[in-house]
Structure 1
Amino acid sequence: MRRPRSIVLAAAMAAGLVGAVIPGVANAGLTSDAAAAVDCPFTNTVCLFEGTNYSGTRFTVSVPGPSQACVSLVDHGWGDRARSAYNTGSQSAALFANDDCVGGPYQLAGNTGIPDLGSFSPESVWVP
């Protein structure tokens, strides 16, 4: 059953799922994983970055407790913006090319990142 986007978004905002958009620090000279660790120092959080190799402005998404949620990146002005992603949680998250977490997911394994999403442009993210 698909929930209306406004309900999911309202629930996500009320639960503190959607984090702030924060300019990233300079990552020159760091390996990809080291750069992500610098710019995504949170626990159980998916960090999306405007640039490859975890650079540029960062958008964070997390779920408190044992909850799971689909977060629309379009609703937060982040549709088609993410070029790299890092998941600090132990469970896999998923990025979707469509809004409302529909279609084939782009897997983001736990405790790992994707330094370059290539031509993939996420419109939503499923956070465990």
Structure 2
Amino acid sequence: MLFGRLRSVLPIVALSMVVVFGTGTAASAGPSIGTCPSGSLCLYEGAGFTGAKFSVTSLNPNGTCVSLVSHGWGDRAHSAINTHNSGAAMFMNDNCVGGPYQVPANSSLSSFGGFTPESVWVPYWNS
């Protein structure tokens, strides 16, 4: 019974967000906002926008909570670029609950310090 319910929820989740994986490269002069697709939150494995990159965009008008743990990115992100005109938020919990670590609109954070996100909330992107 649980499997049947889970199977019916997965297509809804798939339609509500777009997740793009890629690999980052070390940048000696630092990245520009152009290294992250428009309307996306890009998380980088290393501080200073280095290492592997995880990009996420919401197609849900209410925004989307994305489990980084489910995508193999729990506790991996250490820097971010937000190319959306609205802020995004990162959470230390896997369900976007608790005190958020804000990623302001059209901004970049070269280091989160000791913060390691396990989920992110991204706003709707209507290109």
SS of structure 1 residue aligned to 2:61: coil
**TM-score, length basis structure 1:** 0.82
Q: Which amino acid aligns with 1:72?
A: S
- The answer to whether residue 115 in structure 2 is matched with residue 114 in structure 1 is no
Instruction: List aligned pairs for 1:46-57, cutoff 5 A.
Output: 46-57=41-52
Q: Which residue number corresponds to residue 97 of structure 2?
A: 102
Quick one: distance in 2 between partners of 1:62 and 1:17? Answer: 5
Q: Which residue number corresponds to residue 87 of structure 2?
A: 92
1:66 CA drift (Å): 3.2
Q: Unmatched 5+ residue regions in structure 2? A: 1-5
Q: 1:8 to 1:80 in 2, by over 3 A?
A: farther
Q: Which residue number corresponds to residue 17 of structure 1?
A: 18
1:13 CA drift (Å): 2.4
Q: 1:65 to 1:72 in 2, by over 3 A?
A: closer
Q: Unmatched 5+ residue regions in structure 1? A: 1-5
Q: Which residue number corresponds to residue 3 of structure 2?
A: none
Say whether the 8 Å CA contact 2:26–2:49 is kept in structure 1. no
Number of equivalenced pairs: 117
1:112 CA drift (Å): 0.1
Q: Which amino acid aligns with 1:25?
A: T
SS of structure 1 residue aligned to 2:20: strand
Q: Which has the higher helix share?
A: 1
Q: Which residue number corresponds to residue 37 of structure 1?
A: 33
Q: Which residue number corresponds to residue 63 of structure 2?
A: 68
- Out of 94, 101, 126, the position equivalent to 2:121 is 126
**TM-score, length basis structure 2:** 0.82
Quick one: distance in 2 between partners of 1:9 and 1:108? Answer: 27
Quick one: distance in 2 between partners of 1:116 and 1:9? Answer: 33
Quick one: distance in 1 between partners of 2:43 and 2:113? Answer: 14
| Pair member with larger Rg | 2
1:27 CA drift (Å): 0.3
